[in-house]
Amino acid sequence: MAVNILVVEDEPAIQELIAVNLEHAGHHVIRARDAEAALGIVRNALPDLMLIDWMLPGMSGVALAKQLRGDERTRGIPIILLTARSEEHDKVQGLEAGADDYVTKPFSVRELQARIKAVLRRRAPQMTDDPVEIGGLRLDPSTHRVFGDKSPLELGPTEFRLLHFMMTHAERVHSRTQLLDQVWGDHVYIEERTVDVHIRRLRKSLEPTGHDRLIETVRGSGYRFSANPTA
């Protein structure tokens, strides 16, 4: 799955190495050379994950991570710090600042990719290609297919993303605004009732095997995917 990764790194050679390899792995890479530029990019659109170099000109990578964690809008961005230092107290400081993980330079591209995958699994499972199976409903992101009790179901692309997000965040109620941010992207101005339209289409697609009942409407709050629907 293509993930939007913002790489904040001032050393051109390292920035290039990371960007080329992540793009080769199918990700979309946005580059920034310092914290200020990164904040400008984040203001426009939230990335799915950020790789932040510790030593940046001006505001440090740790200070940037702290600032992102302190803001409600950017709090949820998974962050991996890149550090040339390997001292234990620096790592602790980085994790305390809110980083989800850190990678010590020099690192192999393979190691970096493994860390990215692990952080996404933990923080944004809808961004991974891991298949999800709940209550007899199986969604496979790598083949883009959905099966209800092993029979294939036909879903449109938006319904697929919606179901993927809801299945990877099951049993929780999501407001229409949250679903818009997560599935359509933040800073995308779409009316809330668009969500209702796609929920209706999603239920219709799941109807042949009766899995539409797993999508619950929570009155006054939003929607929930549940393995044990109350209705």
Phi, psi (deg, nearest 5) at residue 114: -65, -40
Identify which of residues 81 and 206 has a Cβ nearer to Ca ion in the complex: 81
- Per rule CB under 5 A, count of chain residues that contact Ca ion: 3
Tell me how far, at minimum, the Cβ of 38 lies from Ca ion, in Å.
Answer: 13
- Separation between Cα atoms, residue 71 and residue 73, nearest integer Å: 6
User: Does position 101 bind Ca ion by CB under 5 A?
Assistant: no
Binding segment (CB under 5 A) for Ca ion, from list 2-10, 88-96, 102-110, 212-220: 2-10
One-letter amino acid of 5: I
Identify which of residues 60 and 67 has a Cβ nearer to Ca ion in the complex: 60
Binding segment (CB under 5 A) for Ca ion, from list 45-53, 66-74, 181-189, 205-213: 45-53
Identify which of residues 10 and 130 has a Cβ nearer to Ca ion in the complex: 10
Tell me how far, at minimum, the Cβ of 100 lies from Ca ion, in Å.
Answer: 20
Are 216 and 231 in contact by the 8 Å Cβ rule? The answer is: yes
Q: What residue is closest to Ca ion based on CB?
A: 55
* Chosen residue from 29, 46, 53, 99 binding Ca ion by CB under 5 A: 53
* Chosen residue from 17, 25, 41, 55 binding Ca ion by CB under 5 A: 55
- Separation between Cα atoms, residue 227 and residue 202, nearest integer Å: 16
Tell me how far, at minimum, the Cβ of 14 lies from Ca ion, in Å.
Answer: 7
What's the Cα-to-Cα distance from 141 to each of 1, 48, 161, 165, 174, rounded to whole Å?
Answer: 7, 17, 9, 11, 21
Tell me how far, at minimum, the Cβ of 84 lies from Ca ion, in Å.
Answer: 7
Tell me how far, at minimum, the Cβ of 54 lies from Ca ion, in Å.
Answer: 7
User: Does position 10 bind Ca ion by CB under 5 A?
Assistant: yes
Identify which of residues 61 and 78 has a Cβ nearer to Ca ion in the complex: 61
Structural tokens at position 178: 């949250």
Binding segment (CB under 5 A) for Ca ion, from list 48-56, 118-126, 137-145, 210-218: 48-56
Binding segment (CB under 5 A) for Ca ion, from list 15-23, 47-55, 123-131, 180-188: 47-55
What's the Cα-to-Cα distance from 219 to each of 39, 222, 223, 224, 225, rounded to whole Å?
Answer: 37, 7, 8, 11, 14
Tell me how far, at minimum, the Cβ of 113 lies from Ca ion, in Å.
Answer: 20
Note the residues at the interface with Ca ion (CB under 5 A): 10, 53, 55
